Amino acid sequence: MTAGYNSTLHRYALFTAACTVFLLVAGALVTSNDAGLAVPDWPTSYGTFFPPMVGGIFYEHGHRMVATFVGLVTIGLAVLLWRVESRPWMRALGWAALSIVILQGLFGGLTVMLRLPPAASIIHAALAQTFFCITVSIAVFTSRWWFAEPAVADDSGSPRLLSLAYWLVCVTFLQLVFGAALRHNAFGIWPHLAGAAAVLALVIIVSRATRRRFAAAGSLRVLCKWLNAVVGAQILLGGAAWWSRLATRDALQPEPIAIWLTVAHTVLGAIVLASTVVFVLVSHRLLSASEPAMAAGTQPVSS
């Protein structure tokens, strides 16, 4: 059954999430090119909304333009949810997304006015990750798959897969905070490396639990394969980005290869976090109703 599914709403949610990825790329280009203070004022840029797009101004003001566009798109998403969505919590989630993107913009301005303090810069980055996860969640909640009646599995293992999935989200988010702190010189690389090891270990544990307990749960197994792929790629990109930065640290300007490796590593980190959130949502959809379903005589997907 797919009653309640709205293809227009779902496509617009996907568009919003895709625009957010573009915003993450624009933000990563600012930090990777050391252009955070290329424009010293806010909300205008050198007293105007249309400065010459040269040097670091291109990255900093370009980031502001993309952020403004994403803000407008998010207004559209919130209004669309309010008009066509019957689930009150979904309408609230749309306004939450709009609130987060506005707050993130304010912290972006604060970082400029306070000359890039690490605390404000880290909060700005964390809000970006949070906003992206909300837009991806809205895309999941409005998908045809979400409205279809799911096959229910009995999550009777210890620890429960859903608990492991929540831990994975929390550790991944903390790891991205460590990454933001490293980029903004709040502390060194060791907490970031420890966080990467913790994320990798949890992905392996979650994948093994899924494979052993839910061999017939196709959605969960596909997501585990995806998580293994993106986490592996993220670790390789992180190593390459760090090596390229060390190899070109005496250069007056960052080398293009170092810049793009850092951008790719930063954006893929956000995709990893969003993927863990999707895993939680799918797990909750498939596993949370296991006890009532079993009581009604429904057979589990896998024991």
pLDDT in tens, 132-168: 999 999 999 999 999 886 766 777 778 899 999 999 9
Residue 288 — pLDDT band, cuts 50, 70, 90? Answer: low
pLDDT of res. 255: 78
Dihedral angle, C-alpha 50, 51, 53, 59, nearest 10 °: -90
Q: Which amino acid is at 291?
A: E
* Whole-number pLDDT of residue 296: 34
Cβ distance 66 to 23 under 8 Å? yes
Distance CA(78)–CA(82), nearest Å, equals: 6
Mean pLDDT, the chain, as a whole number?
88
Q: Provide the pLDDT confidence category of residue 3 given band limits of 50, 70 and 90.
A: low
Predicted pLDDT of residue 289:
43
How far is it, in rounded angstroms, from Cα 83 to Cα 183? 41
pLDDT digits (tens, 9 = 90+) for 75-109: 999 999 999 999 999 999 999 999 999 999 999 99
- The pLDDT of residue 151 is 67
Which of 178, 152, 179 lies closest to 298 in space, CA to CA?
A: 152
Q: Specify the DSSP element, H or E, that contains 106.
A: helix 88-113
- Residue 219: pLDDT band by 50, 70, 90 thresholds? confident
What pLDDT shows up at residue 102?
Answer: 96
**165: closest CA among 271, 276, 255?**
276
Residues 169-213 pLDDT 10s:
999 999 999 999 998 888 888 999 999 999 999 999 999 999 888
State the pLDDT confidence band at 215, using cuts at 50, 70 and 90. Answer: confident
Helix (H, G, I), strand (E, B) or coil at 221: helix
Percent of the chain with pLDDT over 90: 68
Residue with tokens 């899924």: 210
User: What is the rounded distance in angstroms from the CA atom of residue 70 to the CA atom of residue 109?
Assistant: 16
Q: What is the mean pLDDT of residues 215-242?
A: 91
Q: Where are the domains of the chain?
A: 1-149, 151-303
Burial (CB count within 10 angstroms: exposed 0-12, middle 13-18, buried 19+), residue 164: buried
Q: Which of 55, 39, 29 is nearest to 115 (CA)?
A: 39
